[in-house]
Amino acid sequence: MGDGLTDRQTAFRVWALPGIPEVREGDDLAKLIAASVGESGEPLEDGDVLVVTSKIVSKAEGRLVAADDREEAIDAETVRLVARRGPTRIVQNRQGFVMAAAGVDASNTAPGTVLLLPEDPDASARGVRAGLRELLGVEVGVVVTDTFGRPWRNGLTDVAIGAAGLRALEDRRGDVDPFGNELALTVTASADELAGAGDLVKGKVEQLPVAVVRGLAHLTTREDGPGARPVARDAASDMFRLGTSEAIREAVLQRRTVREFTDEPVDGAAVRRAVAAAVTAPAPHHTTPWRFVLVESAEARTRLLDSMLAAWRRDLAEIDGWDEERIARRTRRGDVLRGAPYLVVPCLVAGAEGGAHGYPDARRAAAEREMFVVAVGAAVENLLVTLAGEGLGSAWVSSTMFCRETVREVLALPEAWDPMGAIAVGRPAAPAKPRPARSADSFIEVR
């Protein structure tokens, strides 16, 4: 039996166990496997690894369920949609695996039934291991497998969904290669490699659901271990956890107005990537009626915001007629722009420079400007959603629209550039509060 210190072997054998009958609910898998071992004439040895197809585990555990509609069964086993293309769904299931159809299987089952994955594949592997220890007196590793597709690769392969008595991941970080280079990223998915090796000799059609791998005892452990769960990548480190359309929808839904930011500097390259997405927005006449001013220096932000504050105070005094005390109370409130480490000022460029058509009447000229304003709004939405995808919070604040001349002067903008608010950007200081449910129905009229 391996203990993690056994020397690495340079060869191994793998063979399928014959004679395992059709498995039914309540069957003892360890007894069926032990009987098959006896028929094979090749006794198990300490350090062997049993590779067991999850289908027979599910059947023994009563996971065969009536389901006239497989899609309903998939819905019941799904906790998160990852990607969809036509009827095909890649989802995260209740066991935490990302796979097609939540692992719901309609092959090799009676019509009107489907087979679900084991409720706890690691516990299933531990049970088979303990049963073989009791029946045959051997310490083996056990891998419970299922068939997965893989991103960027055609074809299916078996992978581990449950394990006991072996290290699902073999961490080689810190080892040194023959050239003296220290391995920094090498963590081998040993359980998946064992699953793939077993799948080469197992088969649905041949009804050979169990394989034995011998010669890799260095991968086995005396303890049951943490199972196959360490193989599943957690959400925080998964760069590809959503399909394209789902990622776009998720980014739109997760975009929230952030009013408090940390002091962490904002990566200007991330903002520029967001601007690149912004300028793909639709606009009239194939024009590009937007410009984005990136206010990156603290000095420029302070000068801009101080000038805007002075303009606001003048308006309150000269137009609204407020006294100094009331103005002080009003302008003392927290300023989301001043608390952000980065500002973006989107500008509308209409007129000839922006490509607007000239109209002799005010009605059509006003409509033309409105089209360009809508285009800027679409570009800003692209910007905000992309910033959210970059992990940055944002708040679109309209204040520059009340003192456009001031903003143009401070930022040295051309006369034709019309500041359309300012966007505060930064790392959110706290998680967003749950978004209240909002049905689209109340915003829809059908004719």
The pTM of this model reads 0.64
Q: Residue 1: its pLDDT value, please?
A: 55
Whole-number pLDDT of residue 357:
77
| Cβ-contact 104, 116 below 8 angstroms | yes
pLDDT band at residue 186 using 50, 70 and 90 as cut-offs: confident
pLDDT exceeds cutoff 70 at 346: yes
Tell me whether strands 49-53 and 141-150 are parallel, antiparallel or unpaired: parallel
**pLDDT confidence band for 5 (50 / 70 / 90):** very low
The domains found in the chain, sorted by start residue, are 13-64+115-237 (3.30.1330.100), 255-443 (3.40.109.10)
Helices 404-411 and 298-318 sit at what angle, rounded to 10 degrees? 150
* Residue 12, SS3 per DSSP: coil
Decide: 203 and 17 in contact? Cβ < 8 Å: no
pLDDT band at residue 14, thresholds of 50, 70 and 90? very high
Q: What is the pLDDT of residue 162?
A: 97
| Element containing residue 293 per DSSP (H, E) | strand 290-295
Quick one: how many helices (H) and strands (E) in the chain? 12, 17
Q: What pLDDT is stored for residue 240 in this prediction?
A: 75
The number of beta carbons lying within 10 Å of the beta carbon of residue 286 is 7
Rounded mean pLDDT, 40-46: 93
Q: Is 10 left (phi over 0), alpha (psi -120 to 50) or beta?
A: alpha
Amino acid 228: pLDDT: 93
Over residues 378-403, the pLDDT tens digits come to 999 999 999 988 889 999 999 899 99
pLDDT of residue 210: 96
- What's the length of the chain? 447
Question: What does the pLDDT read at residue 239?
Answer: 74
Interval 144-176: pLDDT, tens: 999 998 888 899 999 999 999 999 998 877 777
In angstroms, the Cα distances linking 341 to 44, 63, 251 are 64, 54, 22
Tell me if residue 147 falls in helix, strand or coil.
strand
Check residue 8 and give its pLDDT. Answer: 62
Residue pLDDT, tens place only, 209-251: 999 999 999 999 999 999 999 898 887 777 777 676 667 777 7
pLDDT over 90 (residue 136):
yes
pLDDT of residue 205: 60
| Mean residue pLDDT across the chain | 89
